[in-house]
């Protein structure tokens, strides 16, 4: 790189430079260009969606679906019956799944696995609800969802 110092004047003082150093300006512009080129593809690749504003939709419950409840004391209930151990929950889950598959095979047609709906108390610890989810996955259930209460005064569609 070279630098223009200017020529000394008649009295030995250096003359002021009449040129602007554009190197820092070019550096800043190149950095901004690189940032722009990196961020533009991310913005373009997003899919424009109109997301629903409703936070809680009513669910249709089929009789073959399994309803589990976990209270604040980490007690698990199959319907209204308390389940004492995870092994008992696993055994009941496997039995219910086998019975439903056999029923659908006898009826003929496409086999649809039942869903598990979990009602978790807001004071229940995550490990309790997570343990129920893991146990039902081990039993063979593929669709596991949560049931929540709508906010009072909130209109659902």
Q: How many Cβ atoms are within 10 Å of 141's Cβ, its own excluded?
A: 20
Which class for 101: exposed (0-12), middle (13-18), buried (19 or more C-beta within 10 A)?
middle
pLDDT in tens, 48-84: 545 555 565 666 667 678 888 888 888 899 888 899 9
Report all structural domains of the chain as residue ranges with CATH numbers, in order of start: 66-146 (3.30.420.270)
For the stretch 84-115, pLDDT in tens is 999 999 999 999 999 988 988 888 878 888 89
Q: How far is CA 1 from CA 4, 5, 23, in A?
A: 10, 13, 11
Beta strands in the chain (DSSP E): 66-70, 76-78, 81-83, 116-120, 144-146
Q: Model's pTM, two decimal places?
A: 0.58
């Amino acid at each position: 790189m070279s630098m223009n110092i200017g020529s000394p004047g008649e009295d030995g003082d250096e003359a002021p430079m009449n040129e602007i150093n554009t190197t820092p300006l070019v550096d800043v512009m190149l950095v901004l260009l690189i940032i722009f080129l990196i961020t533009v593809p991310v913005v373009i690749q997003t899919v424009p969606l109109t997301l629903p504003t409703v936070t809680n939709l009513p669910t249709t419950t089929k009789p073959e679906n399994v309803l589990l409840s976990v209270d604040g004391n980490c007690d698990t209930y199959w319907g209204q019956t308390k389940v004492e151990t995870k092994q008992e929950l696993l055994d009941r889950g496997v039995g219910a799944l086998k019975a439903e598959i056999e029923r659908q095979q006898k009826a003929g047609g496409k086999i649809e696995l039942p869903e598990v709906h979990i009602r978790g108390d807001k004071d229940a610890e995550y490990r309790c609800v997570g343990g129920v989810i893991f146990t039902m996955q081990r039993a063979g259930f593929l669709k596991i969802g949560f049931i929540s209460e709508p906010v009072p005064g909130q209109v659902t569609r």
